A and B are shown apart, each in its own frame.
Chain A
Amino acid sequence: MAKIIVVTSGKGGVGKTTSSAAISTGLALRGHKTVVIDFDVGLRNLDLIMGCERRVVYDFVNVINKEANLKQALIKDKRTEGLYVLPASQTRDKDALTHDGVEAVLNELAEDFDYIICDSPAGIEQGAQMALYFAEEAIVVTNPEVSSVRDSDRILGILQSKSRLAEQGKQVKEHLLLTRYNPERVASAEMLSVADVEEILAIPLLGVIPESEAVLKASNQGSPVILDENSEAGQAYSDAVARLVGEDVEHRFLEMQKKGFLKRLLGGK
């Protein structure tokens, strides 16, 4: 039986899709058969980040409408064994996601996969609520700034009131993933610190992803940043995935680093 995890945030542009791609890739690298679903119908991005945009023939909405079966729509990742992408449709809107349709697709995927990662659209409307409704765990992606923290707080409220588990009186397991973290800017009080965000949101910290050019580069190349093992962001995502599957890994990249010239030349460690 697969574990369904939603990657959500409320606010847009904080790194949901980047994180969905990295985490699903990380899980597959660890040998867990994983599918990542793009719930952002109408604005599909995940296939770009995953570098499979040219291979999209059928999509999530086609499967829901029974115009294609799952086998036809699932795209097998060429780099990572055991990783599949279910892309969003670009020509429909979020109303195309019906409750029963999504549930049927998830049930069918659950038979085959270990992890189902749901990449939520921004906002708190139907599309985002559909992405989180069936989740057992939630990764709340937050940037260290007040508006992102406020929106994450809002989405946490929705998780605990409008998800299927909440309706059954149970609790969705919450994880905080702090992205675009820049210790230098925290030190100069331009950004909230990890401690500030943890105190406000009061949920366990899954990982802190440092602000990194490697993320932008990876997105443009269509290769999840976790595959860039030399980058701090890639390593931070690997740590986060390890914690997600229950390993106890110490947090890194939280402090300002004074790197020497040689160390920079040899790549960040």
Chain B
Amino acid sequence: MADPCFHIKGTSVTSMVLDLYRYQRDEFAETLRQKIETAPLFFTGSPLFLNLASFTGGMDKTQMQSIVSECRSAGFQLYGFRGAEEHVAQMAKDAGLVHLPTPRPRTEQAPEAPASEPTPQPAANSNPTPTKVISKPVRSGQQVYAEGADLILLAPVSEGAEVIADGNIHVYSALRGRALAGVRDNSNARIFCQKLEAELVSIAGHFILNDSFSEAVWKKPAQVFLQDDSIEIAAL
């Protein structure tokens, strides 16, 4: 057998997508700035592509270039686009973006919609990221983040620790630290745990502290979910 110096394989990478509906420079810059303020750490350095499938209105070369420079100066790693009409596609290529193939059968919903839109389905990705499984305790001062995925913890989460997921969080042990599920605006995300002693639970940016937990669920198996923009905790 020869010993090849490389392999080419298929892989899937989690990326954010910006669904552009219309473009007006000041509005775009302002919306982008607001979006990033909600969670600066999660957006900085994130890979991003432009979905132009729902784009209406005209676009010229300067506008395309300013979209690229605004996204990049905001900290995103904008690398590509898809779903554009031919002349827009040419401008995007000229601006240095990679043309990504449009997924064939399903009409994709936007995971990152503007605030006015109803919250879209979380699992629009045809290649879901595998769930992150942690089997050792998450200790005080440690942080675990499951990017674009669910997070499963098989050991306790200590006070002062933080577990974060874009999807759901399952703790098959005691949850004593902070748990933040659906951090990228996924309001369908839930937190499940065997023993609820958390300092804070959060779904899609809404959070409550343990002083507002009811006695009925404290130190019991419980789930946390979002209902009408308010956090609910139910016994399991």
- Say whether A and B bind each other: yes
Query: Smallest CB–CB gap between B136 and chain A, Å?
Result: 6
Report the bound CA distance from A156 to B155 in whole Å: 14
Q: How large is the interface on A (under 10, 10 to 19, 20 to 34, 35 or more residues)?
A: 10 to 19
CB–CB A153/B155 < 8 A: no
When each residue 122-155 of chain B gets 1 if its CB lies under 8 Å from chain A and 0 otherwise, what string results?
Answer: 0000000000000011111110000000000001
When each residue 150-181 of chain A gets 1 if its CB lies under 8 Å from chain B and 0 otherwise, what string results?
Answer: 10011011101100000000010000000000
CB–CB B140/A157 < 8 A: yes
A202, CB-defined interface residue at 8 Å: yes
Q: How large is the interface on B (under 10, 10 to 19, 20 to 34, 35 or more residues)?
A: 10 to 19
Q: Which chain A residue lies CB-closest to B173? A: A202
Option from B139, B156, B174 in Cβ contact (under 8 Å) with A157: B139
Report the bound CA distance from A154 to B136 in whole Å: 14
What residues of B have a CB within 8 angstroms of the CB of A105 in the complex? Answer: none
CB–CB B159/A202 < 8 A: no
What residues of A have a CB within 8 angstroms of the CB of B140 in the complex? Answer: 150, 153-154, 157
Report the bound CA distance from A153 to B159 in whole Å: 9
CB–CB B159/A150 < 8 A: yes
What residues of B have a CB within 8 angstroms of the CB of A156 in the complex? Answer: 137, 139
When each residue 169-207 of chain A gets 1 if its CB lies under 8 Å from chain B and 0 otherwise, what string results?
Answer: 001000000000000000000000000000110100000
The dominant DSSP class at the A interface is helix
Report the bound CA distance from A221 to B71 in whole Å: 69
Query: Smallest CB–CB gap between B199 and chain A, Å?
Result: 12
B202, CB-defined interface residue at 8 Å: no
Q: Which chain A residue lies CB-closest to B143? A: A157
Query: Smallest CB–CB gap between A201 and chain B, Å?
Result: 8
Q: Which chain B residue lies CB-closest to A159? A: B139
What residues of A have a CB within 8 angstroms of the CB of B155 in the complex? Answer: 202
Query: Smallest CB–CB gap between B133 and chain A, Å?
Result: 16
Query: Smallest CB–CB gap between B217 and chain A, Å?
Result: 19
What residues of B have a CB within 8 angstroms of the CB of A154 in the complex? Answer: 139-141, 160
Q: Which chain B residue lies CB-closest to A161? A: B142
User: Given known contacts A154-B141, A157-B158, A157-B161, what 20 new A-B pairs fall within 8 Å (CB)?
Assistant: A150-B140, A150-B159, A153-B139, A153-B158, A153-B159, A153-B160, A154-B139, A154-B140, A156-B137, A156-B139, A157-B138, A157-B142, A158-B141, A171-B136, A199-B174, A200-B158, A200-B176, A202-B137, A202-B155, A202-B156
What are 10 A-to-B residue pairs whose CB atoms are below 8 Å? A150-B159, A153-B139, A154-B139, A154-B141, A156-B137, A156-B139, A158-B141, A171-B136, A202-B137, A202-B156
